[in-house]
Amino acid sequence: MTAVPATTAAVLAPRLAGVALAALAAACTPAWAQDEPGYAPDSALLQQVETMARSGATAATAEQPRGVRVDVKVGKLDPRLKLAPCQHIDTYLPHGLPVWGATRIGLRCTQGAKLWNVSIPIQVSVFAQATVLKSALPAGTVLDAGQLTQAEVDIAAAPGAAVPDPMLVVGRTLGRALAAGATLRQTDLKARQFFAAGETVRVTAVGRGWSVETEAQAIGPGIEGQNVNVRTEAGRLLSARPSGDRQVEVTL
């Protein structure tokens, strides 16, 4: 056997080590990261995603007036993903995500050599009649009917419930400046104060199939959307939700 000169061995050693490391890395690379083409959603699966999103959005708008239109645009998976082939894929809504606006639908491989779980972006638009501003208004504006009108808008385009009828917000105060044509949402309005601390309030306690009313003293101011403590005539302290002028509700 011919001996390899020391200088040649010194040159070859790093190269051989590099080849060995590359082979080891290739053997350990998961299915979704291989260079060869992987799974891509077919038209049937994309249709399933769209149907799921449309059904969810339609259910969420059940209380909206008639004439609501739902439009769904399905995006694309991250092109860096190289998913292994799969024989069966379940679609699902990831926990905590609404079927509304910019969101995602989950895709879970349940039958295949390499199981995977990813999500695909979707854009759900919900078009309905809602209140919009006729002109730009600054924060602090007390709204009147002449400043507002109705138009068909995408009520899912931003957070916050869109105001369906202009008359519902006449007399309310804008909490922030809005541009002309902007959709008016509940989150754009300044929270109302229904009563001051120390005032006597009417308490409506509601249970399953029953309700009872009593009076109590407000410990703090009654701010819309914020619970307030009230003390009943019997001395009991309750956490209640302000619901109107000197009125609160307690759910038992």
Q: What pLDDT, in 10s, does the model give residues 156-166? A: 999 999 999 99
Number of domain units in the chain: 3
Q: Is residue 3 part of a domain?
A: no
Reported as a single tens digit per residue, the pLDDT across 169-187 is 999 999 999 999 999 999 9
Residue 56 domain-assigned (yes or no): yes
The mean of the pLDDT values for the chain is: 85
Comparing CA positions, the residue from 191, 181, 177, 193 lying closest to residue 157 is 181
Asked if residue 114 lies in contact with residue 89, where contact means CB atoms within 8 angstroms, the answer is no
pLDDT number for residue 157: 94
Q: Is residue 122 part of a domain?
A: yes
Q: Among 36-50, 113-127, 154-168, 201-215, where is mean pLDDT lowest?
A: 36-50
- Tell me, yes or no, whether 61 and 122 share the same domain: yes
Residues 122 and 132 in one domain: no
Banded model confidence at residue 1, pLDDT cuts 50, 70, 90: very low
Residue 71, in any domain of the structure: yes
| Dist CA 100 CA 126 (whole Å) | 8
pLDDT band (50, 70, 90) for residue 109? very high
What is the band of 66 on the pLDDT scale with cuts at 50, 70, 90? confident
Query: 239 pairs with which residues across the strands?
Result: 229
Residue 91 maps to a domain: yes
Q: Which of 136, 153, 188 is the last residue of a domain?
A: 188
pLDDT for position 37: 53
Quickly tell me which residue has 């385009």 as its tokens.
157
Q: Does 204 lie in the same domain as 165?
A: no
Instruction: Look at residue 42 in the predicted model and tell me its pLDDT.
Output: 86
- Residue closest to 75 by CA, chosen among 44, 37, 103, 33: 103
CB 106 within 8 A of CB 118: yes
Domain boundary among 78, 106, 126: 126
Q: What is the CATH number of the domain that holds 237?
A: 2.30.30.760
40 CB neighbour count, 10 Å cutoff:
13
142 is a domain residue: yes
Q: Is the pLDDT of residue 36 over 50?
A: no
- Specify the CATH number for the domain of residue 178: 3.90.1210.10
Residue predicted with more confidence, 79 or 180:
180
Is the pLDDT score of 131 beyond 60?
yes
Residues 172 and 157 occupy one common structural domain: yes
The stretch 238-245 carries a mean pLDDT of 95
What is the structure's pLDDT at 10? 43
In terms of residue numbers, what domain contains 113?
A: 43-126
Residues 6+ apart with CB under 8 A from 86: 39, 109, 110, 111, 112, 115, 116
**Neighbour tally for 228: CB within 10 Å:** 20
Does residue 35 register a pLDDT over 90?
no
If asked whether residues 62 and 112 sit together in one domain, one would say yes
247 domain residue, yes or no: yes
The residue with tokens 């909490």 is 175
* This prediction's pTM: 0.69
203: pLDDT strictly greater than 50? yes
Point out the domain boundary residue: 188, 203, 237.
188
Identify whether residues 122 and 142 lie together within a single domain. no
Inside any domain, residue 4: no
Length reported for the chain? 252
Contact assessment for residue 83 and residue 109, using Cβ atoms and an 8 Å cutoff:
yes
17 pLDDT above the threshold of 80: no
Q: 102 and 55 share a domain?
A: yes
Q: Which of 184, 144, 180, 139 is nearest to 162 (CA)?
A: 184
pLDDT at position 247, please? 96
157 and 181 inside one domain? yes
Mean pLDDT of the 223-246 span: 94
Tokens of 177: 């400046």
